[in-house]
């Protein structure tokens, strides 16, 4: 509590009834007492050991970091540069997961390693359980591989839940609730931090909602099936292929794309990261521009979740303007 | 007086086997009722102590004693409950729920399928190595490690002990990742694996790797039992390695998978009351069990039996005492010539009586000493009493 505010409040309260005047000495003592009381509270909070929080992907780590602030050490167990959805814990990774006070999970089948590991259930938080009835089932899955990461299949449930920012807000709330359960004495502080994060996410949601109005009549392609929730929330007409930005698709894929474009005349393909120039060139020849919308599943090299998402929105905005300019010509 | 005891001691030493037999007889007669009382008192204390640290259990309808003994002491088997019950408890937000699968034994040692929360709940920490990290890993209780003679880095083949299990179990080569610090409870005498590992052994989960397809259900009457715990059944055993780990998966609805019971620890009294209200319906396939009540009831019955047993023991002890007195009397008759010789040597009749009394006193004192040592040992090893008592039930 601000001591000045308290003092003013007390003075106002005393004004309504005749009271002895507050001498400067008394005022000083009172202020000192309040400052001391605040210091004691802060010291008591700091005496608590910091929580160890491990998140299964970067957006959750970002949410936890914003909400817990100095009261937790937030870790991502996987190295940078790899997709956390394809990560498997090794012996050091499993020890990190086992030592966590809180294990923040995306849910929706994102953590496929859960079935093979031995972890505390009580410390796990499925942040998407609040909207489990609205998860998207993937009916037709294709097993494929790219680069040296081996084969994988996008089966079961679509898991990039945070790209629907309304869902991301719910996940942030789940993180705050879990932190509050672990440290009930800091609950109000976590709530405060959550409010700030929630406002940022709500602003992103509104901005993308507004931007999506410009995309309503525009068919889109996605380079990878990770934008299901983005498409549903912002009503995007999106068809996915299974391409990687750093790997030139074989001829059969280009033929398949040409066939798809006849049915679905997309002018824009959304990528997880900047595709190779020769891919962009060949797409441009087909009349399809490229735009990056980074899901930001792992820690970005620059900026944070919020800045990456703002850049994504900016990219979409610029891409729409370019397409409009081309169409007007 | 000192000479009396000296002569008596020399006499007892000369007839050492006869003296030893007398000593053990007297000692047993003296300590048997005390031992029974001690076993029951310590057993009750240990059993209640464990029951008190286990607020509630969710078990299938049927014998509450079976479920309690299976989940708390890994004795007996109980009808299974569906794993999905855990969600019902967790979704309420009122309690922590810990599943426990205690149906199987591995080389006569209980094999427990649990989640990592069980170690926190029972304050079990590894003295050596780490807790299991993956399916196929196991950690040994302190006494189980001693009995098996295995340690961190060794492998343990999970050949099932139950030959009457018609479905058979998939033998797994378990990796021992740690040995738990001793707690002097039944937790010391178990082998712990992740719940999913037991389900793989039951055939509910499996891998598609070539190494894993070698698995063949055992339990056949034609199987030749092997004796080495580390290698018994190893030829057919599936080993989960980092290379085939990802291939392991589960089929069907995991919520319907079996567990023996679910330990429920409510967060507070209000939560306990609210949660209790959800299980009053007698049409539910499961019930909420208070282990303390079950154990108190069991112990009450045991004490009733022990009273009867004490009466029988008192009768038997009386008869044994009479027999001992007869042995002494006959012995004195046999020694009549020897006693006459002592008198002829110049000792008076009172000295002879003192000599005999000194012998009896020495035997009684030594018997009391022997009994005390035995009782002290039992008290020191009180941790073993609960399983002994449970095995006797």
What was the pLDDT predicted at B247? 87
Asked whether residue A135 is assigned to any structural domain, the reply reads no
Two tokens at B282? 């007698």
A115/B248 CB distance under 8 A: yes
Checking if the pLDDT of A2 tops 50, the result is no
Whether A170 and A306 share a structural domain: no
Asked whether residue A141 is assigned to any structural domain, the reply reads no
What was the pLDDT predicted at A233? 97
* CA nearest to B1, candidates B377, B380, B355: B355
H/E element, A36: helix A24-47
Asked whether residue A139 is assigned to any structural domain, the reply reads no
Distance CA A197, CA A233 (A): 20
Checking if the pLDDT of A135 tops 90, the result is yes
| pLDDT band at residue B392 under the 50/70/90 scheme | low
Whether A323 and A239 share a structural domain: yes
A54 close to A84: Cβ distance less than 8 angstroms:
no
* Average pLDDT value over all residues in chain B: 84
Asked whether residue A143 is assigned to any structural domain, the reply reads no
What was the pLDDT predicted at B112? 96
| pLDDT band at residue B36 under the 50/70/90 scheme | confident
Whether A234 and A185 share a structural domain: no
Q: Which domain holds residue A88?
A: 51-129+153-204
**3-state DSSP of chain B:** CHHHHHHHHHHHHHCHHHHHHHHHHHHHHHHHHHHHHHHHHHHHHHHHHHHHCCCEEEEECCCHHHHHHHHHHCCCCCCCEECCHHHHHHHHCCEEEEEEEEEEEECCEEEEEECCHHHHHCCCCEEEECCCCECCEEEECHHHHHHHCCCCCCEEECCECCCCCCCCCCCEEEEEEEEECCCCCHHHHCEEEEHHHHHHHCCCEECCCCCHHHCCCCCCCCCCCCCCCCCCCCCCCEECCCCCHHHCEECCCHHHCEECEEEEEECCHHHHHHHHHCCCCCCCCEEEECHHHHHHHHHHHHHHHHHHHHHHHHHHHHHHHHHHHHHHHHHHHHCHHHHHHHHHCCCCHHHHHHHHHHHHHHHHHHHHHHHHHHHHHHHHCHHHHHHHHHHHC
Two tokens at A313? 């929105």
Asked whether residue A76 is assigned to any structural domain, the reply reads yes
Chain A partners within 8 Å of B192 (Cβ): none
Beta strand spans in A86-197 (E): 102-105, 124-126, 137-138, 143-145, 151-153, 156-157
Q: What angle do CA A33, A35, A38 make, to 5 degrees?
A: 110
Whether A320 and A257 share a structural domain: yes
Chain B partners within 8 Å of A95 (Cβ): 130, 133
- Pick from B86, B116, B118 the residue to mutate for testing the A interface (most A CBs within 10 Å): B116
Phi, psi (deg, nearest 5) at residue B363: -60, -45
Checking if the pLDDT of B243 tops 60, the result is yes
| pLDDT band at residue B214 under the 50/70/90 scheme | very low
| pLDDT band at residue A253 under the 50/70/90 scheme | very high
Two tokens at A214? 């410009």
Interface of chain B against chain A, CB under 8 Å? 86, 90, 96-98, 115-117, 120, 130-135, 137, 194, 196, 205, 242, 245-246, 248-250
Whether A62 and A174 share a structural domain: yes
Asked whether residue A134 is assigned to any structural domain, the reply reads no
Mean pLDDT of A116-125: 94
A118/B248 CB distance under 8 A: no
- For B161-190, write each residue's pLDDT tens digit: 554 455 567 889 999 999 999 998 889 999
| pLDDT band at residue B382 under the 50/70/90 scheme | low
CA distances from B326 to B19, B43, B263, B330, B366 (A): 15, 37, 58, 6, 20
Whether A80 and A197 share a structural domain: yes
CB pairs under 8 A between A and B: 55
The pTM (predicted TM-score) of the whole model is 0.77
User: Among A180-184, A317-321, B45-49, whose mean pLDDT is lowest?
Assistant: B45-49
What was the pLDDT predicted at A1? 39
What was the pLDDT predicted at A187? 96
Mean pLDDT of B317-332: 83
| pLDDT band at residue A16 under the 50/70/90 scheme | very low
Chain A partners within 8 Å of B116 (Cβ): 98, 118-121
Chain A partners within 8 Å of B135 (Cβ): 115-118
| pLDDT band at residue B290 under the 50/70/90 scheme | very high
Whether A236 and A317 share a structural domain: yes
Chain A partners within 8 Å of B96 (Cβ): 122
What was the pLDDT predicted at A11? 37
- List the beta bridge partners of residue A124: A103
Helix (H, G, I), strand (E, B), or coil: what is residue A259? helix
What was the pLDDT predicted at B166? 53
Q: For residue B356, count CB atoms less than 10 angstroms from its CB and return exposed for 0-12, middle for 13-18, buried for 19 or more.
A: middle
What was the pLDDT predicted at A208? 97
Whether A63 and A186 share a structural domain: yes
Two tokens at A241? 């292929």
| pLDDT band at residue B348 under the 50/70/90 scheme | confident
CA distances from B83 to B59, B79, B135, B257, B260 (A): 11, 13, 17, 5, 9
Mean pLDDT of A61-86: 95
Checking if the pLDDT of A174 tops 70, the result is yes
| Sequence ranges of the domains in chain B | 2-47+299-392, 56-289
Asked whether residue A189 is assigned to any structural domain, the reply reads yes
Whether A295 and A231 share a structural domain: yes
ipTM: 0.78
Mean pLDDT of A174-192: 96
* CA nearest to A161, candidates A232, A220, A97, A84: A232
Checking if the pLDDT of B264 tops 90, the result is yes
Chain A partners within 8 Å of B137 (Cβ): 118
In angstroms, the separation between the Cα of residue A34 and the nearest Cα of chain B is 34
Mean pLDDT of B121-146: 96
Of B101 and B323, the one with more pLDDT: B101
Number of structural domains found in chain A: 3
Last residue of a domain, one of A169, A204, A239: A204
Checking if the pLDDT of B310 tops 80, the result is no
Two tokens at B120? 């926190």
Of B107 and A20, the one with more pLDDT: B107
Alpha-helical runs (H) found in A141-235: 165-182, 187-212, 228-233
Whether A123 and A176 share a structural domain: yes
A86 close to A224: Cβ distance less than 8 angstroms:
no
B371's CB contacts (< 8 A; 6+ apart) are B27, B30, B31, B34
Distance CA B131, CA B18 (A): 55
B133/A88 CB distance under 8 A: no
What was the pLDDT predicted at A12? 39
Last residue of a domain, one of A204, A220, A238: A204
B266 close to B272: Cβ distance less than 8 angstroms:
yes
Checking if the pLDDT of B107 tops 60, the result is yes
Q: What angle do CA B253, B256, B262 make, to 5 degrees?
A: 135
- Pick from A89, A90, A118, A178 the residue to mutate for testing the B interface (most B CBs within 10 Å): A118
Closest chain A residue to the Cα of B119, Cα to Cα: A120
Closest chain B residue to the Cα of A86, Cα to Cα: B246
A95/B133 CB distance under 8 A: yes
Mean pLDDT of B68-85: 90
Whether A188 and A250 share a structural domain: no
Asked whether residue A178 is assigned to any structural domain, the reply reads yes
B248/A116 CB distance under 8 A: yes
Whether A76 and A216 share a structural domain: no
CA distances from A163 to A195, B56, B257, B321 (A): 19, 42, 34, 87
């Amino acid at each position: 509590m601000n001591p000045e505010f308290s003092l003013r409040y007390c003075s106002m309260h005393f004004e309504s009834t005749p009271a002895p005047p507050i001498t400067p000495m008394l005022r000083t003592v009172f202020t000192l007492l309040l400052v001391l009381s605040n210091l004691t509270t802060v010291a008591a909070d700091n005496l608590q050991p910091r929580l160890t929080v491990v998140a299964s992907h970067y957006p959750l780590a970002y949410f936890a970091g914003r909400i817990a602030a100095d009261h937790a050490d937030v870790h991502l167990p996987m190295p940078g540069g790899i997709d956390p959805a394809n990560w498997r814990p090794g012996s050091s990774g499993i020890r990190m997961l086992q030592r966590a006070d809180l294990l923040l999970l995306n849910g929706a089948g994102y953590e496929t390693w859960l079935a093979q590991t031995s972890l505390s259930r009580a410390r796990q938080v499925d942040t998407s359980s609040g909207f489990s009835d609205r998860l998207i089932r993937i009916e037709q899955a294709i097993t494929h591989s790219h680069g040296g990461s081996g084969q994988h299949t996008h089966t079961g449930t679509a898991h990039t839940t945070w790209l629907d920012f309304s869902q991301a807000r719910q996940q942030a709330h789940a993180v705050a609730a879990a932190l509050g359960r672990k440290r009930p004495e800091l609950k109000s502080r976590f709530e405060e931090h959550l409010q700030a994060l929630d406002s940022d996410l709500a602003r992103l949601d509104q901005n993308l909602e507004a931007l999506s109005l410009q995309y309503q009549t525009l068919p889109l392609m996605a380079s990878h099936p990770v934008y299901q929730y983005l498409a549903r929330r912002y009503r995007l007409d999106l068809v996915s292929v299974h391409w990687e930005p750093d790997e030139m698709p074989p001829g059969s894929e280009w033929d398949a794309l040409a066939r798809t474009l006849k049915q679905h005349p997309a002018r824009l393909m959304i990528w997880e990261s900047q595709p190779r120039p020769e891919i962009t060139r060949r797409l441009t020849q087909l009349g399809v521009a490229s735009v990056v919308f980074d899901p930001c599943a792992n820690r970005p090299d620059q900026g944070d979740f919020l800045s990456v998402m703002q850049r994504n929105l900016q990219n979409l905005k610029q891409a729409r303007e370019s397409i409009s300019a081309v169409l007007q010509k | 007086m000192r000479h009396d005891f000296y002569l008596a001691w020399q006499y007892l030493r000369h007839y050492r086997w006869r003296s030893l037999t007398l000593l053990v007889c007297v000692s047993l007669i003296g300590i048997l009722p005390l031992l029974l009382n001690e076993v029951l008192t310590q057993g009750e204390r240990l059993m209640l102590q464990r029951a008190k640290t286990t607020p509630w259990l969710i078990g299938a309808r049927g014998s509450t004693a079976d479920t309690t003994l299976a989940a708390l002491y890994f004795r007996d088997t109980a009808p299974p409950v569906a794993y999905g019950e855990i969600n019902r408890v967790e979704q309420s937000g009122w309690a922590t729920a810990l599943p426990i699968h205690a149906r199987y034994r591995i080389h006569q040692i209980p094999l427990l399928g649990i989640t990592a929360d069980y170690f926190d709940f029972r304050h079990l920490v590894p003295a050596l190595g780490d807790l299991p990290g993956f399916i196929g890993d196991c950690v040994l209780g302190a006494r189980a490690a001693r009995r098996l003679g295995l340690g961190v880095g060794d492998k343990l083949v999970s050949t099932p002990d139950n030959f009457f299990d018609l479905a058979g179990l998939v033998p797994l080569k378990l990796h021992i990742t740690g040995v738990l610090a001793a707690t002097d409870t039944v937790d010391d005498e178990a082998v712990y694996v992740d719940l999913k590992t037991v389900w793989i052994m039951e055939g509910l989960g499996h891998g598609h790797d070539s190494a894993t397809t070698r698995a063949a259900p055992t339990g056949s009457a034609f199987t030749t039992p092997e004796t080495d715990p580390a290698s018994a059944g190893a030829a057919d055993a599936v080993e989960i390695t980092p290379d085939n780990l990802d291939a392991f998966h589960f089929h069907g609805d995991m919520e319907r998978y079996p567990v023996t019971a679910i330990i429920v620890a409510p967060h507070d009294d209000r939560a306990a009351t609210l949660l209790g209200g959800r299980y009053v319906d007698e049409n539910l396939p499961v019930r909420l069990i208070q282990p303390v009540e079950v154990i108190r009831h069991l112990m009450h019955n045991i004490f009733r039996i022990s009273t009867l047993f004490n009466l029988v023991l008192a009768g038997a002890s009386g008869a044994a005492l009479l027999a001992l007195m007869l042995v002494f009397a006959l012995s004195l008759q046999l020694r009549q010539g020897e006693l006459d010789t002592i008198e002829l040597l110049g000792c008076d009749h009172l000295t002879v009586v003192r000599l005999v009394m000194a012998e009896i006193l020495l035997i009684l004192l030594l018997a009391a000493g022997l009994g005390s040592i035995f009782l002290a040992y039992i008290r020191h090893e009180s941790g073993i009493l609960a399983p002994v008592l449970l095995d006797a039930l």
